[in-house]
Amino acid sequence: MLRRAFLLVLILNLSASAASAGPSIDRSISATAQSILADMTPEERVGQLFLVTFTGQMKAGDPALELVTRHYVAGVILRADNDNFTDPPGTLANAAALIARLQAARHAISESAATPVPGELGGGPVYIPLIIGLSLDRDGKYGPEILGGLSELPTEMAVGATWSPVIARRVGETVGSELSALGVNLLLGPSLDVIEEAQAGRSGDPGVSAFGGDPYWVGVLGRAFISGVHAGSDGALAVVAKHFPGLGAADRPVTEEVPTVRKSLDEIQQVDLAPFFAVTGGLPGDSPEVADGLLTSHIRYQGLQGNIRATTRPVSLDGQALGQILSLQTLPTWRQGGGVMISDSLGSRALRRFYDPSEQTFNGTLVTKDAFLAGNDLLILENFQSSGDDDEVESMVEAISAFVTRYRDDPAFGERVDASVLRVLELKLRLFGGGFPRDGVASGDVEKITGGSQLAFSVASQAASLISPAGTEPPGPPPSAGQRIVFFTDVRVAAQCGSCSQRLWMDPRGLETAVLELYGPGVAGEVGGWNLLSFTMADLALALGERPPSSTPKPLAPTEEVLRALDAADWLVFSILSTRDGEFGSNALKLLLDQRPDLARQRRVVVFAHDVPYELDATDISKLDAYYALYGASESFVSLAARLLFQEVAPSGDPPVAVPGVGYDLIAALSPDPDQKISLRAYSEVTGSVRVTPEAGYSVGDHVYMETSPIVDHNGRTVPDGTPVEFLISYQGENLSPVIQSVTTHGVAQTSIELDRIGQISVQARSDPARVSDILLLDVREGTPAFITVIAPSPMPTATVAATRTAEGALATPEPGSAGAGRGGGSGAPLGLSGFVVAILMTSGVVAASVRAGKVLDPRPMGPVRYGLLAGIGALAAYDYVALGFPGTAIFRVDGGLWWLAGLMLVGGALGVGAARGWQQGRFPGG
């Protein structure tokens, strides 16, 4: 009994201690990391700076295993290109076994006896689990690193086309859950590149591996995805956002040559760096939306590094440039809180060409030193064989050994190493719940990975966009029974490893098969197998006279067969990927449309873009009946294409990048919709989500807090954060109308004013090109509480608010002085309550003055009445002419009060008096 009581008290005390220690978990991890570091030898410390790659399955006796057991590297990166994975059906099981072998080898060395070295800081290997890294994609190649067994995933651009953080988080949760079950604990991704300039054929284009072309939305979706990965893995999978500081504007693949981006520092911050600021707005481990690390890319920025020359280092190797970037906005706090900087591959061809344009020599040790001193904590050694070395392992050992020697000889270098190692240790401790498991890392639980395609199909359904024709209506009827359909598919090849069987990415009969399964005989019966034919785009290129290469992924169909099919077709359906040099047939659709458009005439031509949506130009698109963007080429996206073709589903996504061929400008699309009315609300206090409206009204000296309703863009979603909004303040009787500048947060803009004077105040808001809003009226008087009156504007004619389309298809903003410009938003904008009050006061004054004048000028009984009546009619006619927005009134509407209205009504009253005088003198009948 006493024992049970003692245990209960102990448990309660431990629980209370854990609860009270919650907020200081970071300090606890930091202290643990310091303690571990103190027990580490220089060799162990230096080893924690390196992430290595290797070839094959790392079996016993593999020389690369010594990097784990004798040189204490921080971890490994698994790559399909390095044959680290095997063909299905055992892909996942073999990958989990490989990871388990690596972790077991690391644990085993900590269990072995070590011979202390005199003068060393520690007495033997400290057990520190390995980082096991995996990339989301193959760096520009088609297909993920693991082709089978895991859930089918949508591309980043497909997620971007849904514009949904909820979907981005769901995709991240799936990634986090499955990869952590496999044993992976570091994810190289997502890419936060911004495709600012959509340009077909640009070799540096990240393609569908980027969320889109708007920095704000890339940041929003990136944060949601990272949050999902952390949630799905229960915090056991670190996320490294790439490619810092951003490759969206690169003009060539970063793997081939160091690109140069000619932007100013302001442009870099506003576009390229903005998504990285978004995912570093906190401390790693403290908020799930915050990235654990950033992958630095080999790229040069003119805005940072001045006059770029061939000898200018990429920022990944330039300590001054990288340090300047890391001092901006959110990055210093994130870095101090444990954010890890990881270099991209230090053996890439781009770096080899930078150090030696002839590519004859390569000094890996020099490259690692430059990358580390530039500010990277972890260095990825890949394709790392130096000149004169027998293999990569030898070059890696040389680089590590050189770091150890310098650590011992150079205290300043040693301090930098220790600082980076502490960040790496803190990262690892966060992954393992604050402490490393005494018995080693448990093997992955592959049985938890169920795979499937439901998520990918759901995302595909919400991402699909109808690029042309514009609108949501189906582009004509779907195929009908008896019509012949010919499918052309752009086929690429992917394989799980060098010796693995090749698979076609995409299947040349994939769309035909999907159509038959959904609408063929025995199902819907809308088509029969006899009237469907499938070819590859390479088949079409050959038929159009292109010379084929010596070998192709699939034997080419005879030219006569392809031409006969074209001649007999009622429908031509193309499934295309991006045009690439060296991919025979990838340009076949453009060849057909440009050189042989006769073969497509009198036929329905439908194109499904399974890659970026900006591949075709305006002339090519004009020859199509329908052009869809799907942003993905996996099976779910092919199945969706069949449903779109037969109009079973409607495309609901919007392109997340500009599409020049149809005049879809992303900046215009994300600008405020000019047809919306901005609502305004006023409060006496705004604190967080609390809004207080005073029951007793406002008095002189009070502050009035105002905010808009969510402002929406042309696609009906809230505008990006930072969208400019102006609040126009008008004081009755004053010519000056202050304008308060604000910006949106989550679509809403806020401001405040102090009631520092007596009189009537009106407030409107505009966010160009949206210029119509509620009017807030407040009549402030001494000793009398003032209450807000909200005047909703009357519906405006479409012509005065709707933006017009330019020849290029972009939305044009109304010019000042034209319909849609002016004080209230246009010549037809309502005068509001203020105008009505002015009208009543002016009419009363004009009538009273005219009656008094009539008594002098026309003493007859009805004379004064006639003067007052006609003067009042004249004044009201002037008001009505302006209020109804008749031609010519725009020149009178100016900011700065309603004095101009009073003047116009006075003129109208004077004309009425003149008419009464003429009547009196007999100039009109009955006078």
Assess whether pLDDT exceeds 80 at residue 800.
no
d(CA 788, CA 786): 7
- Element holding 838 (H helix, E strand): helix 832-857
The pLDDT of 849-868, averaged and rounded, is 77
d(CA 175, CA 449): 10
Band the pLDDT of 854: cuts 50, 70, 90: confident
Cβ atoms of 540 and 573 closer than 8 Å? no
Q: 199 or 805, which is more confident?
A: 199
The pLDDT of 81-100, averaged and rounded, is 94
Assess whether pLDDT exceeds 80 at residue 267.
yes
pLDDT tens track for 140-195: 667 789 988 999 999 999 999 999 999 999 999 999 999 999 999 999 999 999 99
Q: How many CB atoms lie within 10 A of CB 570?
A: 15
The pLDDT of 102-115, averaged and rounded, is 79
d(CA 208, CA 156): 6
Residue 925 has a pLDDT of 54
- State the residue for tokens 């770096």: 351
pLDDT tens track for 364-375: 999 999 999 999
Q: Which residues contact 237 (CB under 8 A, 6 or more apart)?
A: 176, 179, 180, 184, 185, 186, 187, 229, 230, 431
Q: 69 or 838, which is more confident?
A: 69
pLDDT tens track for 327-354: 999 999 999 999 999 999 999 999 999 9
Residue 523 has a pLDDT of 84
Assess whether pLDDT exceeds 70 at residue 15.
no
Residue 831 has a pLDDT of 60
The pLDDT of 65-70, averaged and rounded, is 94
Residue 193 has a pLDDT of 93
pLDDT tens track for 307-332: 777 778 899 999 999 999 999 999 99
CA-nearest of 556, 511, 507, 503 to 533 is 511
DSSP string, 477-511: PPP-TT--EEEEE---EEESSTTSPEEESS-TTHH
The pLDDT of 375-386, averaged and rounded, is 96
d(CA 182, CA 434): 21
To 5 degrees, how large is the angle CA 351–CA 412–CA 242?
35
Residue 201 has a pLDDT of 65
Highest mean predicted confidence (pLDDT) among 259-268, 691-700, 756-765: 756-765
Q: How many CB atoms lie within 10 A of CB 412?
A: 8
Assess whether pLDDT exceeds 80 at residue 4.
no
- Amino acid at residue number 282: G
Tell me the backbone φ, ψ of residue 484, rounded to 5 degrees.
-90, 130
Residue 376 has a pLDDT of 97
State whether residue 842 is helix, strand or coil: helix
d(CA 746, CA 752): 18
Q: 199 or 891, which is more confident?
A: 199
- Which of 92-101, 600-609, 650-659, 839-848 has the least mean pLDDT? 839-848
d(CA 284, CA 372): 21
Residue 203 has a pLDDT of 67
pLDDT tens track for 740-797: 999 999 999 999 998 888 888 999 999 999 999 999 998 888 888 888 889 888 654 4
pLDDT tens track for 622-632: 999 999 999 99
To 5 degrees, how large is the angle CA 331–CA 332–CA 337?
95
Contacts 24+ apart (CB under 8 A), 732-735: 732/759, 732/760, 732/761, 732/762, 732/834, 732/897, 732/898, 733/759, 733/897, 733/899, 734/896, 734/897, 735/896, 735/897, 735/899
d(CA 503, CA 401): 42
pLDDT tens track for 582-593: 789 899 999 999
The pLDDT of 32-37, averaged and rounded, is 95
Band the pLDDT of 804: cuts 50, 70, 90: very low
Residue 806 has a pLDDT of 34
Residue 22 has a pLDDT of 38
Cβ atoms of 668 and 714 closer than 8 Å? yes
CA-nearest of 13, 214, 60 to 657 is 214
CA 16 → CA 4, 12, 30, 907, distances in Å? 18, 6, 21, 82
* Cα 864 → chain centroid: 72
CA-nearest of 378, 462, 463 to 426 is 378
What does pLDDT average to over the chain?
A: 85
Cβ atoms of 219 and 192 closer than 8 Å? yes
pLDDT tens track for 545-565: 999 888 887 889 999 999 999
d(CA 59, CA 756): 80
CA-nearest of 167, 172, 207 to 189 is 172
Highest mean predicted confidence (pLDDT) among 447-451, 515-519, 782-786, 839-843: 515-519
d(CA 511, CA 644): 11
Residue 78 has a pLDDT of 96
Residue 911 has a pLDDT of 81
d(CA 299, CA 301): 7
The pLDDT of 507-512, averaged and rounded, is 94
d(CA 259, CA 263): 13
Q: How many CB atoms lie within 10 A of CB 114?
A: 12
d(CA 40, CA 421): 10
In terms of C-beta density within 10 A (0-12 exposed, 13-18 middle, 19 or more buried), how is residue 487 classed? buried
Q: Which segments of 245-403 are extended strands (E)?
A: 260-261, 293-296, 300-301, 340-343, 379-381
Residue 892 has a pLDDT of 53
Q: Which segments of 164-264 are extended strands (E)?
A: 186-191, 238-244, 260-261
3-state SS of the chain: helix, strand, coil percent to 5? 40, 15, 45
- State the residue for tokens 């005879």: 558
Percent above pLDDT 90 for the chain: 59
Say what the pTM is: 0.82
Band the pLDDT of 73: cuts 50, 70, 90: very high
DSSP string, 73-135: -SEEEE-GGGT-S--TTSHHHHHHHHHHHHHHHHHHHHHS---PPTT-S-SSPPP-PPEEEEE
Residue 502 has a pLDDT of 85
Helix residue ranges per DSSP H, 112-212? 156-162, 165-182
pLDDT tens track for 284-313: 999 999 999 999 999 988 777 777 777 788
d(CA 642, CA 452): 19
Residue 910 has a pLDDT of 82
pLDDT tens track for 416-449: 999 999 999 999 999 999 999 988 898 888 989 9
Residue 832 has a pLDDT of 61
Residue 924 has a pLDDT of 57
Tell me the backbone φ, ψ of residue 811, rounded to 5 degrees.
-80, 130
Q: 581 or 326, which is more confident?
A: 326
Band the pLDDT of 859: cuts 50, 70, 90: confident
Assess whether pLDDT exceeds 70 at residue 603.
yes
d(CA 83, CA 67): 18
